[in-house]
């Protein structure tokens, strides 16, 4: 599915790294300045073997640590004690016992990330990695917390480290492919260890920017049977125009699904591979720093995303104007904004909420009333405003009286309101 070129040892330019972190296996893609697209590191030179085991081993005799394939080998030979499921262990937060020693699970995850990034052959992770995007299957608050701790422990500049789910990596990968592959819908099937996940991406072209959604379905305990897979494909493609299909994961390496493949290939482009997520992480990292035309025209509204634009209705040079606060497509746990403004009159101001998840954008005006606001002459009321999100749909608005210089000292009175985006 993707042609690759291997290591970047000896190349001095700064790079963008997309890291697909899983409990069983991980992989790394990288994007050099000036290159047209990302490449994926292969653990075997000249072969498309991109994944390495998410495994650490500690040898008590030499006090040395190994990871990936070397860790597997040492563990099989009984020469070292292995620790796997590193992301899950870090999420659980309990100390991990290896031999006679106990270790902080986040420290083990940090060590694994640092050692595995050394595969790129960089002389300095902090100086040569311009941006790092780590993608995991599901991103929640606890996962975000441990990944942030690990990035900080590696002494990477946290402003240049981001995180996203596999679903979002699929979206970023797709919008960087030729548009005919996803103009209607794109289907991805991810099959690992008897579990099948399907992703169907489609766009609502009635909004500005165009809103993209991904329908996610899970089929646990799915055997490698052609008939069962055929029915799942019919379920996902029924009454839908699907432009392309992407078969991901080791479960599709054996040819056990000829009838299903024929069904997929009827009127669709079909691809197979296993490095879509790490490449999608590279694309997502680049979009955060330097959005391309397509990235500007589209916004991904996944499960953890703010699905509306939020702004403040203000008066500029005597004309009504809109001041943007939060943009649709932002992760709700990262959605924050602050500003200051003066009240022209009265004791209220208006926020404008524009949902992008429906067939049409429908603006909603929300009046925030500041009860018992101090009375001052003219425009002598300065308000400090902060907005954030408590959940994926609940916005918290906090206003503070900042006074007006020495004439009207700030009372620092606080008003807080909460409302839903749905």
Least Cα distance to 402 among 422, 420, 421, 376 occurs for: 376
pLDDT of residue 163: 94
| Fold category of 308-420 in CATH | Substrate Binding Domain Of DNAk; Chain A, domain 1 (2.60.34)
* Residue 3: per-residue pLDDT: 40
Strands 101-103 and 96-98: antiparallel
Which of these CATH numbers, 1.10.3720.10, 3.30.420.40, 3.20.20.70, 3.40.190.10, describes 169-300? 3.30.420.40
The CA distance from 324 to 264, in Å, is 43
Output the 3-class SS for the chain: CCCCCCCCCCCCCCEEEEEEECCCEEEEEEEECCCCCCEECCCCCCCCCCCEECCEEEECCCCEEEEHHHHHHHHHCCCCEEECCHHHHHHHCCCEEECCEEECHHHHHHHHHHHHHHHHCCCCHHHHEEEEEEEECCCCHHHHHHHHHHHHHCCCCHHHEEEEEHHHHHHHHHHCCCHHHCCCEEEEEEEECCEEEEEEEEEECCCCCEEEEEEEEEECCCCCCHHHHHHHHHHHHCCCCCCEEEEECHHHCCCCCHHHHHHHHCCCEEEEECCHHHHHHHHHHHHHHCCCHHHHHEEECCCCECCEEEEEEEEECCEEEEEEEECCCCEHHHCEEEEEEECCCCCEEEEEEEECCCCCCCCEEEEEECCCCCCCCCCCCEEEEEEEECCCCEEEEEEEECCECCCECCCCCEEEEEEECC
Please answer whether residues 361 and 328 qualify as being in contact, where contact means their C-beta atoms are separated by less than 8 angstroms.
Answer: no
Two domains, one topology: 15-165 and 169-300: yes
**CB 366 within 8 Å of CB 350:** yes
* pLDDT over 70, % of the chain: 95
For 15-165, which CATH class?
A: alpha beta
Helix axes 258-265, 226-237, angle to 10 degrees: 20
Is 32 a residue whose pLDDT tops 50?
A: yes
Q: Choose among 41, 15, 16: nearest CA to 28.
A: 41
Q: What is the mean pLDDT of residues 106-110?
A: 97
pLDDT band at 8 (very low <50, low <70, confident <90, very high): low
| 323 within 8 A of 211, measured Cβ to Cβ | no
Mean pLDDT computed over 255-261: 96
* Residue 12 pLDDT: 55
11-14-18-24 Cα dihedral, nearest 10 degrees = 50
Structure-block tokens of residue 408: 């009207």
- pLDDT tens for 268-293 read 999 999 999 999 999 999 998 777 88
User: pTM of the full predicted structure?
Assistant: 0.87
Mean pLDDT computed over 202-217: 91
pLDDT score at 2: 41
Domain ranges within the chain, ordered by starting residue: 15-165, 169-300, 308-420
**What's the pLDDT tens digit per position in 393-411?**
999 999 999 988 777 888 8
Angle ∠(134,252,281) on CA atoms, nearest 5:
15
HSE of 315 in the Cβ direction (CA atoms, 13 Å)? 7
Tokens found for residue 392 = 């994926």
Q: What is the pLDDT of residues 320-337, one digit of tens each?
A: 889 999 999 998 888 999
Residue with the larger pLDDT of the pair 167 and 45? 167
pLDDT classification of 123: cutoffs 50, 70, 90: confident
Mean pLDDT of 48-60: 91
Averaged confidence pLDDT in the chain: 90
Name residue, tokens 């703010």.
Answer: 306
CB 355 within 8 A of CB 361: yes
Q: For residue 23, what pLDDT band results from cuts at 50, 70 and 90?
A: very high
Integer Cα distance of 183 and 263 in angstroms: 20
Average pLDDT over residues 307-320: 87
Q: How far apart are CA 408 and CA 373, in angstroms?
A: 13
Ranked by mean pLDDT, the top range of 13-17, 118-122, 212-216 is 212-216
Would you give the distance in Å from CA 39 to the centre of its chain? Answer: 19
* Cβ-based neighbours of 268, under 8 Å, separated by 6 or more: 242, 243, 244, 245
């Amino acid at each position: 599915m993707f042609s690759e070129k291997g290591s970047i040892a000896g190349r001095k330019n700064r790079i963008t790294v997309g890291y697909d972190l899983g409990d069983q296996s991980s992989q790394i893609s990288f994007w050099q300045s000036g290159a047209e697209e990302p490449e994926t590191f292969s653990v075997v030179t000249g072969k498309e073997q991109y994944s390495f085991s998410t495994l650490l081993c500690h040898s008590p005799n030499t006090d040395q640590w190994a990871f990936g394939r070397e860790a597997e080998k040492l563990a099989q030979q009984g020469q070292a004690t292995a620790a796997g499921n590193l992301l899950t262990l870090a999420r659980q937060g309990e100390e991990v016992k290896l031999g006679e020693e106990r270790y902080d699970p986040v420290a083990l995850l940090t060590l694994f990330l640092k050692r595995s990034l050394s595969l790129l052959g960089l002389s300095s992770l902090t100086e040569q990695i311009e941006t790092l995007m780590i993608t995991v299957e599901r991103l929640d608050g606890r996962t975000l917390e441990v990944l942030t701790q690990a990035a900080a422990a590696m002494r990477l500049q946290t402003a240049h480290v981001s995180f996203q789910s596999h679903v979002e990596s699929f979206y970023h990968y797709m919008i960087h492919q030729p548009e005919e592959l996803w103009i209607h819908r794109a289907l991805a099937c991810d099959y690992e260890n008897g579990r099948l996940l399907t992703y169907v991406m489609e766009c609502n072209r009635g909004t500005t920017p165009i809103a993209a959604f991904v329908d996610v379905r899970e089929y646990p305990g799915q055997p490698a049977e052609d008939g069962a897979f055929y029915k799942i494909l019919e379920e996902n493609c029924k009454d839908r125009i699907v432009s392309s299909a992407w078969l991901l994961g080791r479960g599709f390496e054996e040819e056990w699904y000829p009838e299903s493949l024929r069904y997929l290939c009827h009127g669709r482009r079909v691809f197979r591979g296993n490095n879509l997520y790490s490449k999608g992480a590279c694309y997502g990292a680049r979009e955060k720093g330097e959005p391309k035309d397509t990235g500007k025209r589209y916004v991904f509204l996944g499960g953890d995303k703010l699905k509306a634009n939020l702004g403040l209705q203000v008066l500029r040079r005597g004309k009504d104007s809109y001041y943007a606060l939060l943009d649709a497509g932002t992760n709700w746990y990262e959605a924050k904004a602050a500003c200051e403004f003066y009240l022209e009159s009265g004791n209220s101001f208006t926020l404008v909420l524009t949902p992008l998840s429906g067939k049409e954008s429908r603006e909603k005006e929300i009046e925030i009333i500041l009860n018992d606001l101090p009375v001052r002459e003219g425009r002598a009321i300065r308000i400090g405003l902060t907005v954030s999100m408590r959940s994926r749909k609940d916005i918290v608005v906090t206003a503070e009286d900042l006074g007006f210089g020495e004439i009207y000292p700030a009372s620092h009175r606080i008003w807080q309101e909460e409302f839903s985006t749905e």
